[in-house]
Structure 1
């Protein structure tokens, strides 16, 4: 799979007209892959902070994030901004926003990441200290199943040829640019991909902080227990406290190894 870049796609982005509708057919010129009911579209997330010490990794951008990023590029181009600034702004558009971001900050501060980075709170990673973090996805460009956001479950991205090819082409290239960073996979599906990447020799196990609860609002109980805000005896049977305790210990050990 050939890697698509901003320079190849900028002309198509400039011509887009999606003020009236935010449906995928208006983005046909940005489609980079189609196989059966699976489609993928270019998103202008080329910018990589070369000084990043931490990489936060989700599954894939959703439709809202895709249109927000494209709108950001169009707006930046009308202002005459330089390419790096255009891409930086597009990347920051909606990255881990709302409840997701608030929960993520609490989790990262709880494990002491801010202290290891020498900042007062990981909240500043989304503001003045953005150079210390890189945000990405195992499937860098948005993937849709029958036009709907891909959840990471079906098909299995490590077993589906197209999705695995996208991981190999895009995610591996980003990792090669940031070989010494700490990687934080968000959720079990992302963690499975990072286990594969470790097997491939791209990363060391100690670089990957497995087991941090996904910061989604739907994951409130696991987050509350991890943060020490909910007692073990109050948990529902959907939450496994032993797994969370084990994950926290391993995360703290890896942080001390990486920031000694």
Structure 2
């Protein structure tokens, strides 16, 4: 098989990028199961036959660590991060790509924790997370740390940061019993002494804004060309790497995409835990009701059924003792 070089395929558009992805997997992960490449084709909206019939043989999976080594982007943006004036939200100097009012900005969320047992999945980093991650990377770089160290520090500080977002997330994790399953006193430890157990991530790794407002699922990330590319090149890569972790979807928008990935055979259904609410401030009153004794009437725009079903399924599967 003749593999084209990157220079040769740059003019090939989407099909050229698929050839590059295929070549990279063939060279770096020769034992990767074929479903991963098939999924990449289908997520790009291509027919399988368009990419050729030869698939990568299945076999034992090789271990690889993409996140801790992928430092190219932060090296490109280091001068901006370390400028006399710290970068702001939607800083134009951090703009990575844009199309039809959809803007993607850089923030250092590349780190992948290879030992994670759970993966907490949001939609995309918001303005608070963007600023906090960039500021922590700036601090680390100015202190003389390596770009890899800066990426890891930024991810630890920025991921699901800000209130009430982080508290809403921890409340749900505790209510479901994640801390019990992981042998922790409190799920808050996942953001402190037990970070080795968790991968925090988003379907869209880098901050996305639509017409300078937060991205809330519109346009559809599985159909919009920029967002689909971001989803495929980053989140799907995390799925392929974190083979031993379960993915916890936060909110119906995230769960919808995870279900799509299950249909595309990127994720196995038993690796996905659904039913939690997105921990944003808009959901605080719903979360407080759901984790309470529920003596009051059901709040406006609150459907307890998916939450209760997901919690029950999690506890029956992962906890030895299951309370109602």
TM-score range, shorter chain: 0.7 to 0.9
Which residue does 2:100 correspond to in 1?
A: 36
- In 1, the alpha carbon distance for the partners of 2:267 and 2:74 equals 31
Question: What are the within-5 Å matches in structure 2 for residues 40-51 of structure 1?
Answer: 40-51=104-115
- Which of 110, 114, 133 is equivalent to 2:198? 133
Question: Residue 86 in 1 paired to residue 141 in 2?
Answer: no
Which residue does 2:262 correspond to in 1?
A: 198
Which residue does 2:208 correspond to in 1?
A: 143
Shift in Å, 1:197? 1.1
More deviation in 114-123 or 124-133? 114-123
> Does the 8 A contact of 1:52 with 1:178 survive in 2?
yes
More deviation in 172-181 or 216-225? 216-225
User: SS of 2:158's equivalent?
Assistant: coil
- In 2, the alpha carbon distance for the partners of 1:23 and 1:110 equals 33
Q: List per-residue Cα deviations over 1:107-164 (Å, max 9, x = no partner).
A: 1112111111111111110001111111010000111112222122x21212222212
Unaligned runs of 5+ residues in structure 2 are 1-13, 22-66
Which residue does 1:235 correspond to in 2?
A: 298
Which residue does 2:181 correspond to in 1?
A: 116
> Does the 8 A contact of 1:18 with 1:26 survive in 2?
no
More deviation in 219-228 or 3-12? 3-12
- In 1, the alpha carbon distance for the partners of 2:129 and 2:151 equals 14
Relative distance call for 1:68 and 1:228 in structure 2 (3 A) is closer
| Structure 1 residue runs of 4 or more that deviate by more than 4 Å after TM superposition | 1-5
Shift in Å, 1:44? 1.2
More deviation in 58-67 or 16-25? 16-25
TM-score (normalised: structure 1): 0.87
Q: Which has the higher contact order (CA 8 A, sep 6+)?
A: 1
Unaligned runs of 5+ residues in structure 1 are none
Question: Residue 10 in 1 paired to residue 10 in 2?
Answer: no
- Which of 238, 246, 250 is equivalent to 2:309? 246
Relative distance call for 1:189 and 1:242 in structure 2 (3 A) is closer
Larger radius of gyration, structure 1 or 2? 2
What value does the CA root-mean-square deviation take over the aligned residues?
2.5
- Which of 42, 67, 85 is equivalent to 1:19? 85
Aligned residues: 253
Relative distance call for 1:26 and 1:207 in structure 2 (3 A) is same
Question: Residue 76 in 1 paired to residue 152 in 2?
Answer: no
